[in-house]
Amino acid sequence: MRTVLAKCCVLALIAGGFAFTGDAGRVFARGRRVLESTTLPSHAADSAAHPTAAAAPLSAAPPSAAPPSATPPDHTPASDAQPEPRVPAADPVSSESATPVPPATTPAPSTQRALAPADAPIGTPRAGMTLPTSSPESIDLATLSPGDRIVVWVGRRGSRKETAGSMTIALDVIDPKSAEVLEQRHAGGGEQGASHAPLRRIRILGSATESFLGGVTPTGPSGRISRQQSLRIVTVDRAPARQDANASQSEQAPVETIGPVQAMAVVRATTTAP
């Protein structure tokens, strides 16, 4: 009985040592791999001791095991092989060497835009035209033809931003009988005259005399521009919805007084208006 118990204790100590050190798990795993394997494992020492025996199965393999190749292998040494020709890299195209693209052709301006002055009136700077040495005392629009231009130098009173001087106004005759003209003038914009007012269709009511207190006394017939006197004008409204059959145009629009007129000049039209 003691012998059996002693043997059990020894086996328990051995099994506990294997379990504690982890050798039991490796032994069980190795035994499981051996049981589940279909071929006998070859030891590394046997392979090292008998290299011919290990190489024999490889040499005994049939030649058909190698995959067929379409072209035979090239046994030319790497040093004897000719290098492949290198394709020269293209130079990067710089912005300086690139051919400049011609700009798009600017379309020709329309007739209406071509006739309109770029810097009203008559394409001159605001202070670019000096007063003429000689000027008529008066001009009657009834004696002119449609298309003629009247250039008027009007006195400009001084202010905080501008000094006293003259302002150039161009009047293109539309209807001499009704004294209707197309007015073009500068709108300000400094001495360079880059800005101009939009075109206005106005009617010349005649001249007027301004008093010191600001009163205006009309003088002269309609359609006459007199030197050293102010000019009375009224805007012509051609919209049918804004016209009143019972009231005249002068009663509908406010009358403006500009001046005094310092000088005048007439520029005849080169072609006769139809």
Residue spans per domain, the chain: 1-34, 121-267
Q: What's the gap between Cα 10 and its chain centre?
A: 97
Backbone angles phi, psi at 52, to 5 degrees: -70, -35
Give CA–CA dist 161/163, Å, rounded.
7
Averaged pLDDT, groups of 10, the chain, 274 residues long: 83 79 76 78 55 48 49 51 58 52 50 42 55 88 92 71 70 93 72 65 90 77 91 79 49 81 86 47
Identify the pLDDT of residue 115.
Answer: 40
Global pTM reads 0.47
End-to-end CA distance of the chain: 150
Identify the pLDDT of residue 244.
Answer: 53
Give CA–CA dist 184/197, Å, rounded.
7
Identify the pLDDT of residue 83.
Answer: 56
Greatest Cα pair distance, the chain, in angstroms, is: 161
Backbone angles phi, psi at 18, to 5 degrees: -65, -40
